[in-house]
Amino acid sequence: MTSGDDEPSWQPPLTSQALVARARWRSRRGALELELLLLPFVQTQLAQLDEQTLHDYSKLLDCEDWDIFDWLQQRSPPPPDLAAIVNLIGHSLLLSPPLPSPEPREH
């Protein structure tokens, strides 16, 4: 085998703090509608998740934005391996206060 590019480089496992930081960054999505659904969960729950749930959340973030959006809106069922994290996010949406409305603009 040749050296360099063909072999994956070994990296130490990420700490929980690093997993949270990476998940927080990856929660910024191309679809604003999805970002607004994930924001309350990220702000209130992400840092308290155990390592397995953080991995599940990371796996969820690997999915397409509109698939995640449909699962959170209960328009279609999530894959069984993501159902628990989708339900946890959905539950946090029910418990979180609404985001503040933008201030009206003066004309």
CATH classification at residue 44: 1.10.150.250
Task: Report residue 12's pLDDT band, with 50, 70 and 90 as the boundaries.
Answer: very low
77 near 71, Cβ under 8 Å?
Answer: yes
26 pLDDT more than 60: yes
Q: How far is CA 7 from CA 1, 23, 27, 75, in A?
A: 8, 26, 29, 42
Q: What is the pLDDT of residue 34?
A: 86
Q: Does 65 reside within a domain?
A: yes
59 pLDDT more than 90: yes
Q: Does 64 reside within a domain?
A: yes
Range scoring the smallest mean pLDDT among 11-15, 44-48, 51-55:
11-15
11 pLDDT more than 70: no
Q: How far is CA 28 from CA 39, 61, 76, in A?
A: 9, 10, 22
Q: Which residues of 81-104 are buried (b: 16+ CB within 10 A; e: fewer)?
A: ebeebbebbbebbeeeeeeeeeee
* pTM score of the predicted model: 0.71
Q: Does 6 reside within a domain?
A: no
Q: What is the mean pLDDT of the chain?
A: 79
Q: Domain count for the chain, please give it.
A: 1
7 pLDDT more than 60: no
Structural domain for 70, as ranges: 16-78
Q: Does 87 reside within a domain?
A: no
Task: Report residue 93's pLDDT band, with 50, 70 and 90 as the boundaries.
Answer: confident
